[in-house]
Amino acid sequence: MVSEGFDFNAFMGTLDQIGFYTVALPFLLVFTIIFALLEKIKLFGDKSRKFNMLIALVMAFLMIRVQSLVETMNNFLPQVSFLAIVFIVFLLLLGILIGPSENGWKGIPLFLGIIVTVGVIIYALLTSSGSLGAGLPSWLSLTTQDRNLLIGIVLFFLFVWFVVAEPGSKSPWKKFGDYLGDLPGELGK
């Protein structure tokens, strides 16, 4: 038996054709907000749930009747939702930098981390909207020659480090790890 897969794009198109986005969603949103506000402020007393429901129902129907208001709401809310997502991503990245209060970055490293985070978010927004085009800027692209030069420099410094390290001392990797672990505290002073 051959079955067709479910096509979400066709389903969303069907919802659009029957007015789900221009009637049902605005209606539900306005009804829910008005009802919740009336329940919270108890404008008509403690036992006014039926009145609150009726008032919210009438206001929601009146709202969807005015098509220009519904169009404004349908244009406005996705943009607000997008900005909320951008803000949540910023807070997530900031939480990575700050971490638990006793272990997080402080001072100059935190400030630089916030600047870099804001820059990365702006860059991501501009590239995803098509304003900058895709990919990294040309000055961040490494050619084969640049990559080989960087590898050579790293190998040179590792060789010098191994040659001058005293026997029995910490390994260079342990020293480097200790240095990186102490860096936020040192820069935050």
Q: Which two tokens stand for residue 140?
A: 């961040």
Burial degree of 115 (CB within 10 A; 0-12, 13-18, 19+): exposed
Helix residue ranges per DSSP H, 42-171: 49-65, 67-98, 107-128, 144-164
Percent over 90 (pLDDT), the chain: 29
**186 pLDDT more than 70:** no
Q: Which residue has the higher pLDDT, 8 or 128?
A: 8
Percent over 70 (pLDDT), the chain: 76
Closest C-alpha to 136, from 149, 144, 127, 125: 127
Task: Identify which of 18-22, 95-99, 121-125 has the greatest average pLDDT.
Answer: 18-22
- Please, which pLDDT band fits residue 88 given cuts at 50, 70 and 90? very high
Rounded average pLDDT over 176-183: 66
Q: Are 27 and 60 in contact (CB under 8 A)?
A: yes
- Least confident span in 62-71, 73-82, 110-119: 110-119
The helix/strand/coil state of 43 is coil
- Per-residue pLDDT reduced to its tens digit, 103-154: 667 777 778 888 888 888 888 887 777 766 655 566 667 778 878 888 888 8
Domain segments of the chain: what residues? 1-65, 76-141, 142-187
Would you state the pLDDT for residue 66?
93
- Please, which pLDDT band fits residue 33 given cuts at 50, 70 and 90? very high
Mean pLDDT value across the chain: 81
